[in-house]
Structure 1
């Protein structure tokens, strides 16, 4: 299961809920149905969406089937929204999901040495930047920032072995 959003709070008295989408473009969250949340028994429960509305750039409203008042909708506040991994579309060559890149080991292509592990990815609007936790803390800087630009800084991405080779001189 993959986390794609969160229910924030009730909206109005008719059972609507305000959510935040964690997808790159907030409205894309509606492309990945069905949704699930974790119930009190720690089991995934399906969310049956009836309707939705866009209220701001990142905040959306949803109406869930059979939830018609604020008291019932309040029980879902702070629930995380998940989808099955199989709901994600297949990617083209040299396209990757963040979830697949995070945790990859980064190797210098020239020295074939381990530089560190991808801890997170920053979206800089023009390109993504890998935040690498250094394997060895020889210097005061514990992180390396590497632009995710194929054939310029990124030589090879092997998702199956969680290994990325970079063209990087440190």
Structure 2
């Protein structure tokens, strides 16, 4: 998820308080869930003011984390962080050559090798074997699902021009 105004990428969400000592539940949207803690600093926004999120301790519980935020020492203060998005700036992400972020691929125009316009990427589905691009030409057409297999199906990606070339027939 991205806020284009600030080039922010939402990578997690602070949820309900947990217990009485100021802990909150947190979900990570990163591919490797623990990698959310490798980004420094993490940010959040309240009433259009951006703050640095200072997590001083964390624990894994089932499919989420428990986090302890600096100066949050009771349940009432923890409630103030409920439903807050955690974000980083895109410049904090170190990418390798020919590596793409999902938010860079969303809204790319897709053309096949015969230069026919297939539509725009509206979503990406993660599967065990590979990602699947969800393509839609307009609001009245059905969706096309294209496996994201580099060099075989995905021939070229230009995230700056928001264009992709694929070996695919409608």
- Tell me, yes or no, whether TM beats 0.5: yes
Count of equivalent residues: 163
2:86 pairs, out of 64, 77, 81, with 81
- Asked if structure 2 preserves the Cα contact closer than 8 Å seen for 1:16 and 1:64, the reply is yes
* Residue in structure 1 matched with residue 143 of structure 2 by the alignment: 143
Tell me how far 1:91 sits from its aligned partner: 2.3
2:103 pairs, out of 99, 104, 112, with 99
Indicate whether 1:7 and 2:11 are aligned: no
Q: Deviations over 1:57-97 (max 9, x none)?
A: x300111111111111101101111111122122243x211
Indicate whether 1:72 and 2:83 are aligned: no
- Asked if structure 2 preserves the Cα contact closer than 8 Å seen for 1:130 and 1:146, the reply is yes
Tell me how far 1:129 sits from its aligned partner: 0.4
Indicate whether 1:44 and 2:50 are aligned: yes
Indicate whether 1:30 and 2:37 are aligned: yes
1:59 pairs, out of 56, 64, 70, with 64
Structure 2: tracts of 5 or more residues without a match: 1-7
TM-score by length of 2: 0.91
Tell me how far 1:48 sits from its aligned partner: 1.1
Q: Over the residues paired in the alignment, what is the CA RMSD in angstroms?
A: 1.4
- 2 CA distance for matches of 1:74 and 1:135? 41
TM-score by length of 1: 0.91
Name the SS of the counterpart of 2:80 in structure 1. Answer: helix
